[in-house]
Amino acid sequence: MKPATIHELSKDLENRTNEDLIVLVLRMAKFKKENKELLTYLLRQSDNEARYIEQLKQEISSQFLLINTSSIYFAKKGLRKVLRYMDRFIRYSGNKETEVELRIHYCIELKNSDIKMDRSILITNLYNRQIDKIRKGIAVLHEDLRFDFLQTMNESDL
């Protein structure tokens, strides 16, 4: 069965009552963890983006502490897990400023961790891809924010 397009769904939702919409949204939230997380962001956290960013930074930092650094293989798997987590929450926000700030935090945590980046080309490439994404994100921001983020990158030696 082929899913309907966003335009078709939008038209269908316009014809529903508020009570119907509440039931539909709650039913949708039951099926996927990501739907629940997105709904939580939209209803509870989108009004205070700074608090949202700080909570994510704390969670990313705590996940870095849990990464198994006994071998490069396990470290790489742990880094990818943290990156998937971060990407998911960046997607919920949709804000370039949030994306840049979280990616900078990820790179700083990676540099400050016990993981030897020079021993693995894969980890170095992962780090370089994040730096590229940061630069692309900075390029579309307002010039004041751009200056602030570039200064943060220079101070952190990224």
**70-127 pLDDT, tens per residue?**
899 999 999 999 999 999 999 999 899 999 999 999 999 999 998 888 889 999 999 9
What are the backbone dihedrals phi and psi of residue 109, each rounded to the nearest 5 degrees, phi first?
Answer: -60, -40
pLDDT at 11 (0 to 100): 84
Tens digits of residue pLDDT in 12-46: 888 888 898 888 888 888 888 888 888 888 888 88
Does some domain include residue 14?
no
pLDDT at 84 (0 to 100): 96
pLDDT at 6 (0 to 100): 85
pLDDT band at 140 (very low <50, low <70, confident <90, very high): very high
Structural domain for 111, as ranges: 48-156
Q: Based on the structure, what is the number of domains in the chain? A: 1
pLDDT at 49 (0 to 100): 93
CA distance 75 to 53: 24
Per-residue pLDDT averaged across 123-141, rounded? 95
Sign of the torsion formed by the C-alpha atoms of 134, 132, 34 and 76: negative
Does some domain include residue 37?
no
Does some domain include residue 123?
yes
